[in-house]
A and B are shown apart, each in its own frame.
Chain A
Amino acid sequence: MGNDINSARELRLPESLCEAGEQMIKGTRFKTVEELLSFVLQELTSCKSAQSEAQERKVIEERLRDLGYL
């Protein structure tokens, strides 16, 4: 997943939430609330589990094919 800011989209958040986010990241490695939200969304959308599941399904399908059941 790229982080190209030139293809970024604007999101609207309540002012109070932005302020709370700014308070939260003080002293951390997140420079902006955008960075924090990007991190959270990246964590949530990384599909490591789904990739493994697809591979595991493929293994079973191949075995069923070997046995003539697919």
Chain B
Amino acid sequence: MSEPKSLLLVTVDCLRADHTGFMGYPQPTTPFLDQLAAESMVFPKAITAGAPTYYSFPGILASRFPLALGREVVGIAPGEPTLATALQQAGYRTAAYVAANPYLSSRFGYAQGFEVFHDFLSEQLPYAREAPRARTRLNRQIAELAHKVSLLGRLYDDLYFQYCQRIALPRNETWNSLRRFPAANVLADHACGWLKSLDDEPFFLWLHFMDPHAPYYPPAEALKAMGKERASPTRGRYLNATWNGDPGARRLRKSRDEIVVLHDAGIRWVDNQLARLVESLRSSSRWNSCMFVFTADHGEEFLDHGGRFHPPSCAYQEILQVPLLVRVPGAEKKALSESPFSLVHLAPTILEALGMDAPEEFEGRDYWSEVQSGEGWDLAVSESIGRCTNPMDAQKRLGARVLVVQDRKFKLVLGFDNQQEDLFDLQRDPHELEPVPIGAERSARGRLLRAALHHLERRPSQRRREFAIRARIHQIGLEWDHSKMRSETPAS
């Protein structure tokens, strides 16, 4: 087998493993990828090194656990080696198209190693006019009076919500006018254009799609492809406003299935555009020398354990387990081990498959040889700061860690904020409904606790200490900038 020459890395925001067809999802979210899976390595249990995005991507691109440079640091440190810098140094042409996720911008070090880095953050999207949010003086007075009696207050809020969503709506809304991120076709257009500009050089192209991220406004074509063409933008706005609000458990449960349809259509649109991009690679005869890697930064909650979105405090598999599909031309497809494969190993494994050594600063190790024999990894660690919903807030960043260690059968969740210590038997209880009683499974508990301790006892190398200093100097600058900003950036 000759080594592949180029690399196409696709990451999707908020895509849990069990919402892809090749991981068993019954809805038609990924017909193209399902087809590709027949000639690819599909990891049965790929685990992100942290969630959300700002805790996940240091693992994917820099093969580094998110808190390894200290919890003060967000993003990639200046000068820190990444997959992109390694490939650029090896002579690859490099480009990244990132669908307007503020935490994956050049401010956080992600442009390093890319000759083209397009994050779409400064581009005007066709935002819809917001439904009226500011209450008039009369409205506020009525609200204050109503809230003196709790049930009346709730009724007033509900009526006001219905008024905003059903009566005071902007006219002629479309899915495209409601969307907050560039859709997959926009990224695919840019990517195809960049690929056309290349000669026969090896390339590294990274695409990060946001289509399945909330608020969920998929293109009408994607809904049609899912057989849900009757969904209307007006209904979509109402559902998103409900899902994003605090309407009570009953109404959330009622909206859940329709919200999942919108989210799934976002996945379908990514799949659809990937088919187009791969077709363009095929027609230019590059596909047969291109390694293709498809994964996600983290999953998404749909009330599985009562929650929504992807907060850093949530350590259930719907957030941590992501799809991972690796297609290497000419490599024999193997059934891979059911043991958890941490995304911290992804970058060194990719480099090995491309015939290169990983930078010594990478924390993960290369598993390409093991992947070809189907097994060899056994444990995955994930970490985040549970209360850090806005990493630009220094106090939130410095909170307590949520540390998760899992092997093939068991998963230990340690929440240092509230002395949480939950052990789950994932084979007997795959949906993590009931932790193993505290006195049971002592040996498994001890093994995973020792792995957790080992993780915390890692000694940073001199180089990593230098990156930590560089990153913190950069951070001081960012915070100085941020202190002048008024608006908060949402967690992603």
Contact = CB atoms under 8 A, between A and B. Distances in A.
A5 to B, nearest CB: 23
A40 B398 contact: no
A57 interface: yes
A49 B460 CA distance: 14
A16 to B, nearest CB: 19
Nearest to B73: A49
B473 interface: yes
Given A44-B469, A49-B71, A49-B72, A57 B416 contact: no
A69 B450 contact: yes
B488 interface: no
A44 B477 CA distance: 12
Contacts of A55: 416
Contacts of B403: 56
Nearest to B442: A67
B414 interface: yes
A60 B414 contact: yes
Contacts of A69: 446, 449-450
B456 A56 contact: yes
B36 interface: no
B453 A60 contact: yes
B70 interface: yes
B456 A57 contact: yes
Interface string A50-63: 10110111011101
B421 A64 contact: no
Contacts of B476: 40, 43-44
A48 interface: yes
A64 B449 contact: yes
B210 to A, nearest CB: 30
Contacts of A67: 442, 445-446, 449
B379 interface: no
A58 B449 CA distance: 12
B400 interface: yes
The 3 closest A-B pairs by CB, nearest first: A49-B70, A69-B446, A49-B71
Interface of A: 40, 43-44, 48-50, 52-53, 55-57, 59-61, 63-64, 67, 69
13 contacts: A40-B473, A43-B472, A43-B476, A49-B67, A49-B398, A50-B70, A53-B456, A57-B456, A57-B457, A59-B414, A59-B416, A61-B453, A64-B446
